[in-house]
Amino acid sequence: MSTEVEILLVEDKRSDAEMTIRAIRKNNIANHIVHLRDGKEALDFLFGTGEYEGRDINKKPKVIILDMKMPKVSGLEVLQKIRANETTQKIPVVMLTSSKENPDIEKCYALGVNSYIVKPVVFDDFMKVVSELGMYWVLHNQVTYK
């Protein structure tokens, strides 16, 4: 983990994760993608706890892509903890959800999510959306906390 993390992808679904990573790689957005499978893992990673004890928490990802619905700790809780902590509160967070019917979308904005994306069913659209958000947050966005 010496290399800088560019994208932290927190996604419990293997297929969605695979497609997301494929989209990012295919568009050469990032080389360093960390894929974690649930919210608890994500928090341990970000705060250097549990499994990730001793990790240099100053090495922050350029963007965190969070799936909203996950086992154990949900994307919403992860977002809440990220925003509540000084070291992580400025990291851009993009929330992914399977549908726009999700009642927690409003809460995401209230908690300070940077983007919110409904995963398209159609693969081409999915690829397009992921690559666009990756490009924006990884390549163009000037991160303020550095």
Partner 1 sequence: MTINKKKDEPFFQIKQEKNSSAELSSPNREIAFQHHEKEKREAELIIANNEPAVQNKEKEKSAAELSLANTELLFQNEEKEKRAAELNIANIELLFQNKEKEKRVIELSIANKELALQNEEKEKHAAELSALNKELTFKYEERLKEVSDYKYSLDESSILAITDQKGIIKYVNENFCKISKFSKEELIGQDHRIINSSHHPSEFIKNIWVTIANGKVWKGEIKNKAKDGAAYWVDTTIVPFLDENKKPFQYVAIRSDITERKKAEEEVTYREKEIVLNRISDGVISVDNDWRYTFLNEASLKTHPRSKEETIGQVIWDVHPEMKGTIFWDKYHEAMLTKKVVEIESYYAPMKTWFSAKVYPSSDGLTIFYKDVTERKKTEQTILELNEGLEKKIKERTEQLESANKEMESFSYSVAHDLRSPVRAMHGYATMLLEDYESKLDEEGKRLISEITYNSKTMGTLIDDLLTFSRLGRKEISKETIDMNQLTKASLAALNSGNTPKIIFSKLLSVTADPSLMKHVMTNLLSNAIKYSSKEEKPIIEIKTKEENGNIIYLVKDNGVGFDMAFADKLFGVFQRLHSDEEFEGTGVGLAIVQRIILRHGGKVWAEAKENEGATFYFSLPKIN
- Contact residues toward partner 1 (CB under 8 A) are 13, 15-16, 18-19, 22, 69, 97-103, 119-124, 126
Taking the C-alpha atoms of residue 54 and residue 134, their distance in angstroms, rounded to an integer, is: 28
Strand, coil or helix: 105? helix
* Gyration radius (Cα) of the chain, Å: 14
Closest contact distance (angstroms) between CB of 13 and partner 1 is 6
- Identify which of residues 50 and 120 has a Cβ nearer to partner 1 in the complex: 120
- Identify which of residues 57 and 118 has a Cβ nearer to partner 1 in the complex: 118
Within the chain, what is the greatest distance between any pair of CA atoms?
A: 41
- Identify which of residues 52 and 116 has a Cβ nearer to partner 1 in the complex: 116
Q: What tokens does 92 get?
A: 């851009």
Closest contact distance (angstroms) between CB of 83 and partner 1 is 23
Closest contact distance (angstroms) between CB of 95 and partner 1 is 13
Residue 13 burial class via C-beta count within 10 angstroms: exposed 0-12, middle 13-18, buried 19 and up: middle
For the chain, the first-to-last Cα distance in angstroms comes to 19
Closest contact distance (angstroms) between CB of 94 and partner 1 is 17
- Identify which of residues 3 and 122 has a Cβ nearer to partner 1 in the complex: 122
